[in-house]
Structure 1
């Protein structure tokens, strides 16, 4: 069976309102990144203040918040690259 090879790829234009959906997704990503950066700043300040005053429980919670905010920012940023990579792979198949 040596017929033509099928070309299957995502047709993002087939959905009605796909441009609006992309705008909403971009806006949500921007909000997620802004909130994550603000939380990084707030948690870093709280960790520094709690550590300097010897308040170990608050310092531990601030450190956890800092790590969670950093992970959230990394996932939100990496999500765009991952989806673009998947769309590129899908178009190449």
Structure 2
């Protein structure tokens, strides 16, 4: 079946609307607070993991030292994701708009 050249596909243009629903500003505040909590917990996990790593290294316990190293890496990764979350979402939003 051949498409009729006279038929034009409708162009749909929808953008995010900040005033479409009540409570959007409160939701932004909540998301910012959760991001802050995530960063604070990442710092706490980094401190605890560094202490565990130090205890493991000084007590000749390679298992404990290894767990501390993994904890340091995981807490740094969590902080990177929390800090870059807005940039990552905006990047993929822009990629999606180009499809």
Q: Please give the TM-score of this superposition, normalised by the length of structure 2.
A: 0.75
TM-aligned CA distance change 1:22 to 1:88, over 3 Å: farther
RMSD between superposed Cα atoms in Å: 2.4
For structure 2, which runs of at least 5 residues remain unmatched after alignment?
Answer: 1-6
Greater relative contact order structure (CA < 8 Å, 6+ sep): 1
- Name which of 88, 93, 98 aligns with 1:82: 88
Contact 2:52 2:67 in 1 (8 A): no
Structure holding more helix per residue: 1
Shift of 1:75: 0.5
Query: What CA distance in whole angstroms lies between the structure 2 residues aligned with 1:85 and 1:47?
Result: 36
Query: What CA distance in whole angstroms lies between the structure 1 residues aligned with 2:31 and 2:74?
Result: 22
Q: Deviations over 1:14-66 (max 9, x none)?
A: 12100110010000000000000111111112102211210111111111111
TM-aligned CA distance change 1:14 to 1:25, over 3 Å: same
Q: Deviations over 1:67-93 (max 9, x none)?
A: 1111111111110222344567789xx
Q: Which residue of 1 aligns with 2:37?
A: 31
TM-aligned CA distance change 1:88 to 1:16, over 3 Å: farther
Q: Please give the TM-score of this superposition, normalised by the length of structure 1.
A: 0.79
Query: What CA distance in whole angstroms lies between the structure 1 residues aligned with 2:89 and 2:55?
Result: 39
Q: Kindly name which structure, 1 or 2, has the bigger radius of gyration based on alpha carbons.
A: 2
Larger displacement relative to structure 2 (23-32 or 6-15):
6-15
